Amino acid sequence: MCTGPFSFASWSKGQNITLKRTTRTGIRVQAKAATVVMNFIPDPSALNSALLTGEVDGASGITVTSLNGLRSADNGKLYFNKGTEVVLMQLNDLTTGPLKDLRIRRALRDVVDYAGITAGVLGGYAQPAKTFAPEATWGYAPDIFKDGDADLAGGKQDVDAARKLVEEAGGAPNERS
């Protein structure tokens, strides 16, 4: 940590972190900037405005709703990378009720509109994940990830399959005795 071109200078809790250029010898790449200040802007609207006006030079963790405006802004560039964030829906109690039946859980999986969520909720700026650990978390072993990922089916809506699973399980939960 901080053994490269910058080292820790100061931290103002909830406000910012300041890094300073490392001046010791043996650094492979010397930083051009003397200092870097990373400000924390927790309000998404304030962050978006600061980026659009040039008040801040960059950010990560931008909200999906800000991306279209930033993409068309003429005062900078919007870059995307493969992130490590995964958004998921988790079912908590699989021991009682209808979710006890694996067929019902699989039916729930099959009725989810993965493409619709990606397009509508996430603005097309994401892709359905096949695992809890996305590709970006496999930085030192991308080939291993790609081999395993190729074998996974991933989420795909299949309402007919879901209907069949519910019928096999004895009907919808409110139709069971």
In a domain, 153, yes or no: yes
Cα 49 to Cα 54: distance, rounded to the nearest angstrom? 8
Instruction: Please tell me the predicted confidence (pLDDT) of residue 16.
Output: 93
% of the chain surpassing 70 pLDDT:
95
**Statement to judge: residues 16 and 59 lie in one domain:** yes
Would residue 62 count as lying in a domain?
yes
- Give the number of other Cβ atoms within 10 Å of residue 103's Cβ: 16
The pLDDT of residue 104 is 93
Residue 100: per-residue pLDDT: 92
Residues 13 and 62 in one domain: yes
> What is the reported pLDDT for 101?
93
Of 6-15, 16-25, 46-55, the one with minimum mean pLDDT is: 16-25
Domain assignment of residue 57, given as a range: 6-72
Long-range contacts of 80-88 (CB under 8 A, 24+ apart): 80/125, 81/136, 82/134, 82/135, 82/136, 83/134, 83/136, 84/134, 84/136, 84/137, 85/134, 86/129, 86/132, 86/133, 86/134, 87/122, 87/126, 88/129, 88/132
Is residue 157's pLDDT more than 70? yes
Note whether residue 132 is domain-resident. Answer: yes
Condensed to tens digits (0 to 9), the pLDDT of residues 44-72 reads: 999 999 999 999 888 988 888 899 899 99
When the pLDDT of each residue in the chain is averaged and rounded to a whole number, the result is: 87
CATH classification of the domain holding 55: 3.40.190.10
- Give the Cα separation of 56 and 62 in Å (integer): 13
**Stronger pLDDT, 34 or 138, i.e. the higher one:** 34
Report how many domains make up the chain. 2
Mean pLDDT of 77-106: 86
**Are residues 47 and 115 located together in one domain of the fold?**
no
* pLDDT surpassing 80 at residue 176: no
Assign 3-class secondary structure to 89-153: CCCCCCCCCHHHCHHHHHHHHHHCCHHHHHHHHCCCCCCCCCCCCCHHHHCCCHHHHHHHHHCCC
- pLDDT reported for residue 46: 94
